[in-house]
């Protein structure tokens, strides 16, 4: 194998695939990065037990030559050395040559590295996925839905299924749902095709996989191709291939958690409320659950308070747009409230309460595609 390749392009691809590589892997060869050259270009691969990422660098694209010389072949290089080496090379052009003893020679300017490679034959083969179960989403929309839900997955392995985001199709809509059983985040969008033709009814994608995918994808309105099999999901753009395993098991039915009626509704400025809750949270850190109180004062004011006997207390009157319904005094985790308000994409929010002991929901005022639910804490 021999390639003479553009340094920036190579660095960019390396950054993408190393997100899947961990030095703490049970399969030693997966601590390496796979380089594969064929006549079309160079493919880099990184993988762990959950995800596999491939990034392709074409020989030439839109009239720009990225690879000057190309003799096909493949090799595994040390993922803990190769990225830093490429990044620090002195010249914009990098030559990588592999000999029969799997010695990898990297040349750039006056610098020459000789690395011990590993046989690419030992690298696990990617499953060849044969499926017609494919749909498309604009990348910025996918990123948006990931960000609106993935923070709410459980970080505990007690119920592994809750560490994933549930994607399900219902009422001709695609739903993203995440919950750690103390709060829930749900985002949905109308399907452009008929529900019957959609490739799945429901799947659960590990939260970690979606976080990595979100990091790799640039904000763009181009679409991404999504394919699903029994136990894997593949996200694919022109030069990127991202495969994640799916979580086994049945995701809990969450719709019955969402109260259908409410007794108190508050309409507030998202940013004002977020900042007041953030300030109140400063004195709630000592309690592990970050509990703060919210109380209706009059029809234009709520009070946000927190009290930590050792440190002190905080009180803030927040002027709001409107309150409908009963008076209310409720306690909840400021962390969950901050998480929920941060991802609201509208200037105003509507918060629907059904009493101090029942879950409450936070919604944008302008649309109904997003819903956040928080369980209160009993303190009164």
Residue 299 contacts a copy of itself per CB under 8 A = no
Residue 287 contacts a copy of itself per CB under 8 A = no
Minimum distance, C-beta of residue 285 to a copy of itself, in the bound complex (Å): 9
CB burial class (10 A; 0-12, 13-18, 19+) of residue 2?
Answer: middle
Q: How far is CA 100 from CA 43, 73, 104, 120, 124, in A?
A: 20, 11, 10, 12, 21
When computed from its CA atoms, the radius of gyration of the chain, rounded to whole angstroms, is 25
Minimum distance, C-beta of residue 317 to a copy of itself, in the bound complex (Å): 4
Length of the chain: 380
Compute how many residues bind a copy of itself; rule: CB under 8 A: 32
Residue 278 contacts a copy of itself per CB under 8 A = yes
Residue 11 contacts a copy of itself per CB under 8 A = no
Nearer to a copy of itself, 208 or 279 (CB): 279
Residue 282 contacts a copy of itself per CB under 8 A = yes
Nearer to a copy of itself, 88 or 288 (CB): 88
User: In the range 111-170, which residues lie near a copy of itself by CB under 8 A?
Assistant: 111-116
For 168, what's the count of Cα atoms within 13 Å in the CB-facing half-sphere?
16
Minimum distance, C-beta of residue 330 to a copy of itself, in the bound complex (Å): 19
Evaluate whether 210 touches 165 at the Cβ level (below 8 Å): yes
User: In the range 305-364, which residues lie near a copy of itself by CB under 8 A?
Assistant: 310-319
Q: How far is CA 153 from CA 52, 232, 337, in A?
A: 21, 19, 15
Nearer to a copy of itself, 32 or 364 (CB): 32
Nearer to a copy of itself, 112 or 230 (CB): 112
Nearer to a copy of itself, 18 or 149 (CB): 18
* C-alpha to C-alpha distance for 71 and 77, rounded to whole angstroms: 17
Nearer to a copy of itself, 153 or 320 (CB): 320
* C-alpha to C-alpha distance for 301 and 322, rounded to whole angstroms: 8
Nearest in space to 202 (alpha carbons), one of 172, 173, 166: 166
Residue 79 contacts a copy of itself per CB under 8 A = no
Minimum distance, C-beta of residue 273 to a copy of itself, in the bound complex (Å): 12
CB burial class (10 A; 0-12, 13-18, 19+) of residue 257?
Answer: middle
Evaluate whether 332 touches 307 at the Cβ level (below 8 Å): no
Residue 92 contacts a copy of itself per CB under 8 A = no
* C-alpha to C-alpha distance for 123 and 376, rounded to whole angstroms: 49
Evaluate whether 346 touches 363 at the Cβ level (below 8 Å): no
Nearer to a copy of itself, 69 or 112 (CB): 112
Residue 85 contacts a copy of itself per CB under 8 A = yes
Q: How far is CA 239 from CA 16, 36, 58, 223, in A?
A: 11, 14, 8, 13
Using DSSP, state whether 67 is helix, strand or coil.
strand
Residue 28 contacts a copy of itself per CB under 8 A = no
Minimum distance, C-beta of residue 141 to a copy of itself, in the bound complex (Å): 33
User: In the range 93-122, which residues lie near a copy of itself by CB under 8 A?
Assistant: 103-104, 110-116
Binding-site member from 8, 38, 60, 84 for a copy of itself (CB under 8 A):
84
Evaluate whether 231 touches 157 at the Cβ level (below 8 Å): no
Residue 289 contacts a copy of itself per CB under 8 A = no
Q: Note the residues at the interface with a copy of itself (CB under 8 A).
A: 78, 81, 84-85, 88-90, 103-104, 110-116, 275-276, 278-279, 282-283, 310-319
């Amino acid at each position: 194998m021999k390639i003479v390749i553009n340094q920036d392009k190579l660095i960019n691809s390396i950054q993408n695939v190393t997100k899947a590589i961990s030095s703490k892997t049970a399969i030693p060869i997966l601590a390496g990065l796979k380089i594969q050259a064929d006549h079309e270009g160079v493919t880099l691969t990184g993988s762990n037990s959950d995800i596999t990422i491939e990034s392709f660098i074409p020989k030439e694209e839109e009239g720009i030559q990225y690879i000057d010389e190309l003799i096909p072949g493949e090799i595994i290089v040390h993922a803990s050395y190769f990225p830093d080496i490429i990044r620090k090379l002195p010249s914009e052009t990098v030559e990588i040559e592999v000999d029969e003893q799997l010695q990898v020679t990297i040349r750039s300017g006056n610098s020459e590295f000789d690395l011990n490679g590993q046989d690419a034959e030992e690298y696990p083969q990617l499953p060849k996925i044969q499926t017609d179960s494919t749909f498309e989403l604009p990348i910025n929309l996918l990123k948006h839905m990931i960000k609106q839900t993935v923070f709410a997955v459980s970080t505990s392995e007690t119920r592994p299924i809750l560490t994933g985001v549930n994607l399900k199709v219902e009422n001709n809509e695609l739903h993203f749902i995440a919950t750690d059983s103390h709060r829930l985040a749900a985002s949905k969008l109308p399907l452009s095709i008929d529900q019957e033709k959609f490739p799945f009814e429901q799947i659960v994608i590990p939260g970690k996989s979606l976080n990595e995918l979100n990091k790799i994808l640039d904000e763009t309105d181009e679409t991404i191709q999504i394919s699903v099999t029994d136990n894997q999901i593949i996200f694919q753009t022109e030069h990127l291939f991202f495969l994640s395993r799916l979580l086994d098991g049945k995701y809990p039915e969450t719709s019955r958690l969402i109260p259908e009626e409410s007794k108190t509704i508050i309409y507030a400025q998202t940013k004002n409320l977020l900042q007041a809750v953030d300030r109140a949270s400063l004195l709630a850190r000592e309690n592990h659950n970050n509990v703060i109180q919210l109380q209706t004062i009059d029809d234009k004011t709520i009070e946000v308070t927190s009290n930590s006997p050792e440190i002190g207390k905080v009180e803030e009157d927040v002027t709001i747009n409107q309150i409908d319904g009963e008076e209310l005094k409720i306690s909840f985790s400021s962390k969950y409230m901050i998480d929920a308000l941060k991802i609201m994409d509208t200037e105003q929010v509507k918060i629907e309460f059904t009493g101090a002991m029942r879950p409450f929901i936070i919604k944008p005022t302008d649309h109904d595609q997003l819903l956040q639910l928080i369980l209160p804490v009993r303190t009164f």
